[in-house]
A and B are shown apart, each in its own frame.
Chain A
Amino acid sequence: MSDHHHPHDRPPNPYHQSARSPERDRELAERVAKLESLLAEKGLVDPKALDRLVEIYEHDLGPMNGAKVVARAWVDPEFKRRLLENATAAVAELGFGGLQGEHLVAVENTPKVHNVVVCTLCSCYPWPVLGLPPGWYKDAAYRSRVVIDPRGVLAEFGTTLDDDVEVRVWDSSAEVRYLVIPERPPGTEHMSEEQLAALVTRDAMIGVAKVAAP
């Protein structure tokens, strides 16, 4: 069990290094604003609807949804069975679904198997249960290295695995997106489903971390 704790105010990884000049940022802002106004003139987008959409993606979709799914799977073996069989249908039972949630596959961590998710080509990610991906998930460094050296990358996230643990790397695509069901930590037998959900982190559901005991 990992007792490593990430300080979450700073990304724990050494990868993210995007930087744009203020001038370039201004140009891009103008280009997007112009595109939006041209689309709005044609009646193809509604700026107010865009505001609402951003609001939803920034606040309503996020790892808290996936955490509820994981907690339910921990307390309800029947639900877990359905989740492993057809994750899209199972998460819909909890009210989660939509764009990038189609063809969701849940993979379960066990004492002998650790799953980790990547999208080597771009940034496919199960939005309805995890929200939008973090910066490092979109960076080439993570996308290429986790395939070649998953243990090394996991170690950089503070996750060290015993040698006899099999690491499975799942490459998300436009067709399939993955959700890791982390192991339930010991000492949580008496916790409620809601309390359990609060333990589950985004990184654990991508598979770069474990769920720490409370």
Chain B
Amino acid sequence: MTAERRARAEIADMQGLPRKSGELVFHADWERRAFAIAVSLAEQGMFPWSDFQRRLIEAVAEAERDDPLHPSRGYYESWLVALERVLEDKGLASLARAARAAVSPSPASQA
């Protein structure tokens, strides 16, 4: 991505969205949904929250392995990866795979 496009994407991100103490909590609606899905499933007892956190720590560490300051995926992408893995742990692998297959290949799904 060119610097100019990146700058434009960031400006688009900054506008018109609710903030908490000056910073955006979510940058895109899918981040909001991915967050809510994980919390909702944990609240229903589908998995202990600590299982999800373990997966999240793993996913964040992977993304930061090569260059911590420029992670290979953003925080909520790692969150999504963690959610998919926790579902796989719970025997819902086909479901997580189907969701990934629904979109074109991406760096995270090839990993």
B16 at the interface (CB under 8 A from A): no
Closest to B27 in A: A18
A148 at the interface (CB under 8 A from B): no
Contact A134 B20 (CB under 8 A): yes
Select which of B18, B21, B68, B96 is within 8 A of A134 by beta carbon: B21
Contact A10 B74 (CB under 8 A): no
Write out the residue numbers on chain B whose beta carbons fall within 8 Å of the beta carbon of A21. 1, 5, 9
Closest to A24 in B: B106
Contact B21 A8 (CB under 8 A): yes
- A36/B33 contact (C-beta < 8 A), A44-B41, A136-B23 known: yes
User: Closest CB of chain B to A158's CB: distance in Å?
Assistant: 13
A190 at the interface (CB under 8 A from B): no
Contact B23 A11 (CB under 8 A): yes
Interface residues of A in 22-43 (CB under 8 A from B): 22, 24-25, 27-36, 38-39, 42
B111 at the interface (CB under 8 A from A): no
Contact B37 A99 (CB under 8 A): no
Select which of B9, B25, B46 is within 8 A of A20 by beta carbon: B9
A20, B107: Cα distance in complex, Å: 12
Write out the residue numbers on chain A whose beta carbons fall within 8 Å of the beta carbon of B68. 140-141, 144
User: Closest CB of chain B to A25's CB: distance in Å?
Assistant: 6
Select which of B74, B96, B98, B104 is within 8 A of A18 by beta carbon: B74
A63 at the interface (CB under 8 A from B): yes
Contact A28 B36 (CB under 8 A): no
User: Closest CB of chain B to A70's CB: distance in Å?
Assistant: 15
A212 at the interface (CB under 8 A from B): no
Closest to A46 in B: B40
Contact A38 B98 (CB under 8 A): yes
A58 at the interface (CB under 8 A from B): yes
Q: Which residues of B contact A (CB under 8 A)?
A: 1, 5-6, 9-10, 18, 20-30, 32-37, 39-44, 46, 49-50, 53-54, 56-57, 60-61, 64, 68-71, 74-77, 80, 83-84, 95-96, 98-100, 102-104, 106, 109
Q: Which residues of A contact B (CB under 8 A)?
A: 6-11, 16-22, 24-25, 27-36, 38-39, 42, 44-46, 49-51, 53-54, 57-58, 62-63, 99-100, 121-124, 131-132, 134-136, 138, 140-141, 144, 174, 201-203
